[in-house]
Amino acid sequence: MTNASVREFKMPDVGEGLTEAEILKWYVQPGDTVTDGQVVCEVETAKAAVELPIPYDGVVRALHFPEGTTVDVGTSIIAVEVAGGAAPAQEEAPAAPAPAAEPERPAEQPAARQPVLVGYGVATSSTRRRPRKQAQDPAAQQAASAVQSELNGHGAAPAAPPAPAAPVAPAAPASSAAPAQRPLAKPPVRKLAKDLGVDLATVTPTGPDGVITRDDVHAAVAAAQAPRQAAPAAQPAAPAAPAPSAAPASYDSVRETRIPVKGVRKATAAAMVGSAFTAPHVTEFVTVDVTRTMKLVEELKQDKEFAGLRVNPLLLIAKALLVAIRRNPDINASWDEAAQEIVVKHYVNLGIAAATPRGLIVPNIKDAHAKTLPELAASLGELVSTAREGRTSPSAMQGGTVTITNVGVFGVDTGTPILNPGESAILAVGAIKLQPWVHKGKVKPRQVTTLALSFDHRLVDGELGSKVLADVAAVLEQPKRLITWA
């Protein structure tokens, strides 16, 4: 390719200031031809999985990170060789101050292309660092090269012996330079180093402009552990009995498995802790006969208005909750801590908790209060199928007002659900089972379920919470109230 240059595509901020994303899958490999707008990889943030399109035409030269790697926003993840580049790719971002929000835009395509992702194109100021004044000495460069080779999976065995020598060679200059200059690292990397007990001053940086990355911290931990693991391995080698030393490692690996907490699960954990220790939770329960509701579900399945739609008990439970909110609008509110105000919302964005392979997510149906029953059924079906495919967008999980969680699908009778942050109430629906029930003065087998409503006691008192739960139960017991109360 003549007159070609290499463009570095950086990890964009795909949702509300998130600082990192995990590369789930690469759709291209080095040597593949890509075009403007072509999806090259799928990444997962703390909110959702998102596909990333490339913003220019060219040929893939390198993929900088393998699948499963968590990468900071603003870090280059793929190099693409493009034709007709007037300036070197490495100098293009600093030399083009005008398009600050999209530093990777080619000079021949100024503003024609519209961003296809929220927050696409990280500002250069968020990722550009001032270069270090002093150059690294040859010993430090050799150590950095060995660490990078080990991270890339090349020459792992030969790299192990020189690993302990890395901290010895630069020991004198490191100690003298430590007070003068603070190591460059982003806040998530500093927290990782603190959690692992790693002194950043002893870590060899491999990031752009001498920035310490997550991999550098993990490499420092591995290098520190290498001498300890090598010493016991060398001692049993003399009596020619390597088998006993290998057995404990295998035994321990079977007894415990460590799973990194990241992505959706990490965000969910943080949100639940924040909610549990911020909003004072109160949970109330009611057991109700839903036999008539179950009969209505079977009738609606035969109705031509619901042809091709998903009709199940959750549909009528959702409608019952919407009716209860209409009768008790103060339940649909949020607490504004900064202003010390209760914000009553005159719309309902109905959240539905969904268990996915990546963790629990709560997408919501926008303006659910204004939908007819067939429209609500269509929205529920689309929400569930999108969540199962892992395609729920970050916007679909924002702005919820109340939530339903259906624990009954797992055979669970009831529970005490935790509020979704920023919401005032969450309704848990238990399993619907045939149980002995007093009906018209006689004990008969009836379809029975238990509902649990958790609410924020700062803005919902016991009377209001009880009325809402009682209204939901009343509608499910006598579905004709969907008409008389609407």
So which residues are the catalytic ones? Answer: 457
Contact 191, 20 (CB under 8 A): no
3-state secondary structure the chain: CCCEEEEEEECCCCCCCCCEEEEEEECCCCCCEECCCCEEEEEECCCCEEEEECCCCEEEEEECCCCCCEEECCCEEEEEEEECCCCCHHHHHHHCCCCCCCCCCCCCCCCCCCCCCCCCCCCHHHHCCCCCCCCCCHHHHHHHHHHHHHHHCCCHHHHCCCHHHCCCCCHHHHHHHCCCCCCEECHHHHHHHHHHCCCHHHCCCCCHHHEECHHHHHHHHHHHHHHHHHHHHHCCCCCCCHHHHHHHHHHHHHHCCCCCCCHHHHHHHHHHHHHHCCCCEEEEEEEEECHHHHHHHHHHHHCHHHCCCCCCHHHHHHHHHHHHHHHCHHHCEEEECCCCEEEECCCCCEEECEEECCEEECCEECCHHHCCHHHHHHHHHHHHHHHHCCCCCHHHHCCCCEEEEEHHHHCCCCCCCCCCCCCCEEEEECCCEEEEEEECCEEEEEEEEEEEEEEECCCCCHHHHHHHHHHHHHHHHCCCHHHHCC
**Residue 319 burial by CB count (10 A; 0-12/13-18/19+): exposed, middle or buried?**
buried
Contact 71, 8 (CB under 8 A): no
Tokens of 140: 């430090």
User: Can you give the length of the chain in residues?
Assistant: 486
